[in-house]
Amino acid sequence: MILVLGSFDGFHKGHQALFDVAKDASNRMGLPWGVLTFVPHPQIILGNRQFVPLFTDIERDFIASFLKIPKVLKIPFNEIKDLSPADFIEELENRYKARGIIVGENFKFGKNRTGDAKFLKSYLAKKGWFFAAIPPLKVDGTIVSSSLVRRLTKKGHMPETEKMLGYPYFIISKVIEGEHRGRKLGFPTANLLLSEPKLFPPLGVYATATLAQERWWCGALNIGYSPTFEKGEEIRTEVYLDGFEGDLYGEMIIVLFLAHIREERKFESAQALIAQMKDDIERVKEIYRRWFYEHESLLVALDEHWRSHESYLKVLYSTQRF
């Protein structure tokens, strides 16, 4: 088997370049290929308290499936973090019958990160394995990396994040019942259940495309504390779907972030908030229309994949402990 190694906090365009090499090598050599990643993310095990993953495991599995990665292998990082580079490779051979390795040029592994591409080239040549170390990919002259995607996301630069990922930053969530405040204001919202660690953009309002009940909806999503009313201690995430009627309680939806509209702020009255929400929705509709026509093929592909994947997601999501 040919293994693409990495932490893969999401699968950005740089990672996708590794997969292209793996597909080509797989076809030429007649060997299956897959991704080998670590759980939980090594940064968590190594004690980086500021680290929060870009995507949940469920979301990462959805991306992998959408990108047609044939197999995603997850190895507990605690089991291999103290292995020498040579022992780690032998472990991959014993566990997965590995016969080829593909990494990014800057990949480090093994105890104290002593293994690198130079070691792999030498060690695997002796074993007669396939090996490739791929240089960093650049988009618009900028090197694509998970750390860059994280910085862009944390700043709310959603179009730039999309450029680096190759798809919009998104949330997969179950809709839960809220306080019905949006409905009373004339803008009913779907409240999202967010119970797993996940990196979020700044508080505020975002233009979104939301897949619910087998169609895409223009949406305005708010992340925040609802400061106009009594401020709570928990951040809430809720999305208004333009033109939607009914409820989505208990259903799974996927929300794509298109652009940051404005920061969250406190209004003097509910009427002032309603006026602002009307303006927000007009802006969101304009952004959505433009984005939709530029990405129609992506939305069709996501819709088709969601339909084939939705039942699996529901089962998987129901097994999570919240």
Residue 162 is assigned to a structural domain of this protein: no
Using DSSP's 3-state secondary structure scheme, residue 98 falls into: coil
Residue 133 is assigned to a structural domain of this protein: yes
Residue 294 is assigned to a structural domain of this protein: yes
In whole angstroms, what is the distance from residue 162 CA to residue 173 CA? Answer: 20
Domain that holds residue 8: 2-137
Residue 45 is assigned to a structural domain of this protein: yes
Q: What distance, in Å, lies between the first and last C-alpha atoms of the chain?
A: 36
In whole angstroms, what is the distance from residue 217 CA to residue 276 CA? Answer: 20
| Per-residue model confidence (pLDDT) at position 159 | 97
- Domain containing 299 — which CATH number? 2.40.30.30
| Per-residue model confidence (pLDDT) at position 92 | 96
Q: Which residues sit opposite 176 in a β-bridge?
A: 191
| Per-residue model confidence (pLDDT) at position 276 | 84
In whole angstroms, what is the distance from residue 300 CA to residue 309 CA? Answer: 14
In whole angstroms, what is the distance from residue 241 CA to residue 37 CA? Answer: 36
Residue 46 is assigned to a structural domain of this protein: yes
* Strand ranges for 232-305 from DSSP E: 236-241, 252-262
Q: Are 245 and 106 contained in the same domain?
A: no
Q: Are 114 and 177 contained in the same domain?
A: no
| Four-residue CA torsion sign, 293, 295, 298, 299 | negative
Domain count, the chain: 2
Q: Are 126 and 188 contained in the same domain?
A: no
Q: Which residues sit opposite 109 in a β-bridge?
A: 115
pLDDT in tens, the chain (322 residues): 999 999 998 899 999 999 999 999 999 999 999 999 999 888 888 878 788 999 998 899 999 999 999 999 999 999 999 999 999 999 999 999 999 999 999 999 999 899 999 999 999 999 999 999 999 999 999 999 999 999 999 999 999 999 999 999 999 999 988 665 655 555 778 999 887 889 999 999 999 999 999 999 999 999 987 655 566 667 889 999 999 988 899 899 999 999 999 988 877 777 888 888 899 999 999 999 999 999 999 999 999 999 887 666 666 656 554 4
Residue 158 is assigned to a structural domain of this protein: no
Q: Are 179 and 123 contained in the same domain?
A: no
Q: Are 65 and 116 contained in the same domain?
A: yes
Residue-level length of the chain: 322
| Per-residue model confidence (pLDDT) at position 315 | 64
Q: CA 245, 173, 214 angle in degrees (round to 5)?
A: 45
**What is the residue type of 88?**
F
| Per-residue model confidence (pLDDT) at position 321 | 46
Burial class (CB in 10 A: 0-12, 13-18, 19+), 81: middle
